[in-house]
Amino acid sequence: MKKNQIRLAIAGINGRMGKNIFKILNTEKINNILLNGVTESKISLKKINKILYKSNFLDIKSNIIDIIDKFDVLIDFTNPKTTLKNINICEKYKKKIVIGTTGFTQEQKLIIRKISKNIAIILSSNFSQGINILLKIIENIINILCKNKKINNLDIDIIEKHHKKKIDLPSGTALSLKNTIIKAYKKFNILKKITCHSIRAADLYGEHSVLFSFIGEQIELIHKASNRMPFAKGAIQAAIWINNKKSGIYNMHDVLEI
């Protein structure tokens, strides 16, 4: 092992995000990153092209406890139940974790926050640079509108589109957009209804738009992903960033410094 090398593991290697993260690490030279372990559920293990991973000296396991000594940072884009199981193991063995799983209940989020007192965690609904810039822009727009008292006749709608197999509805990113707006309003002691509209169709990668509607005019902000690579690259960037952190809960705003 090289000095300062980060040993990385991926949970859910056969998932949409797992495959894209693996593809980047397998084709691009990223300094100080060593993919040293991968996991997948027992059901999915039957469908995996194991030769592909063995050619990269990776033996797929169904439980991260089987690779616990092989990684420093875990990237997890699985499902709430599996992620909670993995995060508890990471806490026990003092491993850092980057979480891209969405659909957590409030109770599960509280568990994650509690565990973050002992290990470093990045929890984000979206790892793309574009979405995180959009969140900042929306916060600024709300601040401008509230300061200038331009909200009386304002309606805000969030529209999100994803592939048919996406389970959580609305998406985690749509909820992040909504919560950003609500948080910005709270600074001015304002309560406003924010409506989310969800579309599940075909194999859409992800599209989010925020519509500010006034009487006679609208402002629409749109983020479109043409593939999953921006999310995968963001997750890898997050894993590199968190490697030097001891404990705490962070998000992509921290990683991108925006």
Left if phi > 0, otherwise alpha if psi is -120 to 50, otherwise beta: which for 56? alpha
Q: Is residue 166 located within the same domain as residue 209?
A: yes
Compute the average pLDDT of residues 124-138: 96
Compute the average pLDDT of residues 228-239: 96
Tens of pLDDT along 238-248? 999 999 999 99
Whole-number mean pLDDT of the chain? 93
Q: Is residue 95 located within the same domain as residue 18?
A: yes
Tens of pLDDT along 68-119? 999 999 999 999 999 999 999 999 999 999 999 999 999 999 999 999 999 9
pLDDT of 183 over the 70 cut:
yes
Catalogue the E-assigned strands of the chain.
6-11, 33-39, 73-76, 96-99, 120-123, 155-162, 194-200, 207-214, 217-224, 248-250
**DSSP bridge partners of 207:** 161, 224
Q: Is residue 23 located within the same domain as residue 109?
A: yes
Q: Give a yes or no: residue 120 inside a domain.
A: yes
Catalytic residues, which ones?
Answer: 162, 166
Question: What's the CATH number where 202 sits?
Answer: 3.30.360.10
Per-residue pLDDT at 30: 83
Tens of pLDDT along 163-178? 998 888 999 999 999 9
Q: Is residue 10 located within the same domain as residue 64?
A: yes
In terms of Cβ atoms closer than 10 Å to its own Cβ (0-12, 13-18, 19+), residue 55 is exposed
Per-residue pLDDT at 167: 85
pLDDT of 39 over the 90 cut:
yes
pLDDT band at 222 (very low <50, low <70, confident <90, very high): very high
Distance CA 220, CA 212 (A): 6
Distance CA 242, CA 246 (A): 8
Look up residue 201 and give its two tokens.
């169709």
Q: Is residue 216 located within the same domain as residue 241?
A: no
Structural domain of residue 244, as residue ranges? 6-127+229-256
Per-residue pLDDT at 28: 86
Per-residue pLDDT at 58: 82
Q: Is residue 150 located within the same domain as residue 186?
A: yes
Left if phi > 0, otherwise alpha if psi is -120 to 50, otherwise beta: which for 232? alpha
Q: Is the peptide bond before 170 cis (omega within 30 degrees of 0)?
A: yes
Number of domains in the chain: 2
Q: Is residue 182 located within the same domain as residue 110?
A: no
Question: What's the CATH number where 66 sits?
Answer: 3.40.50.720
Q: pTM of this prediction?
A: 0.90
Compute the average pLDDT of residues 190-219: 94
Q: Is residue 197 located within the same domain as residue 172?
A: yes
Q: Give a yes or no: residue 196 inside a domain.
A: yes
Q: Give a yes or no: residue 17 inside a domain.
A: yes
Q: Is residue 26 located within the same domain as residue 98?
A: yes
Distance CA 6, CA 123 (A): 19
Q: Is residue 136 located within the same domain as residue 122?
A: no
Question: Whole-angstrom distance between the N-terminal and C-terminal Cα of the chain?
Answer: 33
pLDDT band at 49 (very low <50, low <70, confident <90, very high): low
Neighbours of 70 (CB within 10 A): 18
Q: Give a yes or no: residue 239 inside a domain.
A: yes
Q: Give a yes or no: residue 1 inside a domain.
A: no
Q: Is residue 11 located within the same domain as residue 94?
A: yes
Question: Which of the two residues, 46 and 21, has the higher pLDDT score?
Answer: 21
Q: What angle do CA 11, 12, 17 make, to 5 degrees?
A: 105
Q: Is residue 178 located within the same domain as residue 215?
A: yes
